Amino acid sequence: MKLPPDFRRRVLAREWLCGTFLNVGSAITVEIAGLAGFDWLLIDHEHGPGGQDTLLHQLHAAAATPAFPIVRIAWNEMPRFKRALDMGACGVMVPYVNSGDETRAAVSAMRYPPHGKRGVAKFNRGAGFGGDFEEYYAHANERLVTVIQIETPEAVANIDEIAAVEGADVLFVGPTDLSYNMGIRDQLESPQFVATLQKVSDAAKRHHKAAGILVHNAALVPKCRDLGYTFVALGSDGGAVRTGLLGFVQALRGK
């Protein structure tokens, strides 16, 4: 498997890159989303119902599209990185990162020695089952994308320390968790929350990283862009299916 050679460079250049979340555990919706024109896809294995076998099929589906597949693992634990990367994920999103030390641990789990602690195995899907291992090993550290989630006031307080870690490519706000942990749940347009978003974005810019966020309301996309966010996801496959089905029911019932 060949890692896209320029996607990480585009992330760090702060290009506008559009994504969506895939949280129903379906390979079919991964393929639909990838063919829809998104730059990147987030396959959610933190809150999504999928397991290891599901992830393999989802990554197979993503490979049939031009989109860049990123897997959100359930926790910042080294074995979870190895499983996702060996299956062929091109990036990993790490939830609930709160400090520079936790960020360094995540980056280390993403990278082969001597720059990290990722276990080396030649026979895996990511390395073309051994056929592409030398090329994969030579370029994995520079081409894989590490997305660090900012979801607590502690993470915001440590944002410069987190952003300064080489290899932490995207500082990605989880708006639901962050707003709940700030005690202003779902108040995503409140002055306090907007100021926090700006603080994260400013730190990303200072340290030459990208700022990312998930939004569920299309009206918030230009506002996030104005705040300096460039790695932005809108909605999810589950949300799109539910919204579509509710619309069908309303139409059929004449409401």
For 193-242, the pLDDT digits (tens) are 999 999 999 999 999 999 999 999 999 999 999 999 999 999 999 999 99
**What is the enclosing helix (H) or strand (E) of 93?**
strand 91-94
Q: What is the DSSP letter of 5?
A: S
Question: Could you list the residue range(s) of the whole structural domain that residue 94 is in?
Answer: 7-252
- CATH number of domain containing 120: 3.20.20.60
The reply to whether 47 belongs to the active site is yes
2 falls within a domain: no
Give per-residue pLDDT as tens, 67-99: 999 999 999 999 999 999 999 999 999 999 999
Q: Quick check: pTM over 0.95?
A: yes
Which residue in the list 45, 47, 57, 208 is annotated as catalytic? 47
**CB atoms near residue 223 (< 10 Å):** 15
189 falls within a domain: yes
Residue-level pLDDT at 2: 85
153 falls within a domain: yes
Give per-residue pLDDT as tens, 17-44: 999 999 999 999 999 999 999 999 999 9
176 falls within a domain: yes
Give per-residue pLDDT as tens, 128-178: 999 999 999 999 999 999 999 999 999 999 999 999 999 999 999 999 999
1 falls within a domain: no
How many distinct structural domains can be found in the chain? 1
pLDDT greater than 90 at residue 246 = yes
134 falls within a domain: yes
81 falls within a domain: yes
